[in-house]
Amino acid sequence: MNDVTESRSAAAQAGNLTLRQFQQLIHEMYFEKDLARGVDGTFMWLMEEVGELASALRNGTHEERLGEFADVLAWLTTIANVAGVDLTEAVMRKYGLGCPGCGQVVCICADAEKP
C-alpha cells in the first residue's frame, strides 16, 4: 500500500472521503475493467442500479437504501472515469456558486422549473 492509498483508507475509515478521493478510489479498483466495458456497457449497469435504488426507496430497509445509493454513486463515478470527467470539477462548475437556475445558494426557482 502506498502513502496515497493509506491516506485515502484512513479518510474512508474516518468517514471523511471527499468526492475526489472517492473517484480516485473507484478508478484504482475498477478502471481497467471499466475501460474495457466502455461507457455504453457501464451506463447499462448504472441504469440497473438506479432501478434497484427505486425499488429500495419504495420497499427497502434503510440498509438496503444505503447500499443502493452507494452503488449508484459508484457506477456514476465509473462512467465519469471512463469519460475522463473530474466529478469535483463538474460539481463545482455547475453548483459551486449556487443554483444553476437562479444563482442563489437556497434555490428560489419556481416549483414548475428545473431544478
Per the listing, cell 456514476 goes with 76
Please, what is the angle between helix 19-59 and helix 62-83, to 10°?
A: 140
CA distance 92 to 7: 24
Residue 13 has pLDDT above 70, yes or no: no
Give the confidence band of 114 by pLDDT, cuts at 50, 70, 90. confident
What pLDDT does residue 112 have?
85
Q: Enter the pTM of the model.
A: 0.84
pLDDT digits (tens, 9 = 90+) for 20-58: 999 999 999 999 999 999 999 999 999 999 999 999 999
Instruction: For each of the domains in the chain, give its residue range(s) and CATH number, in order of start.
Output: 3-84 (1.10.287.1080)
Given a contact cutoff of 8 angstroms between Cβ atoms, the answer to whether 17 and 11 are in contact is yes
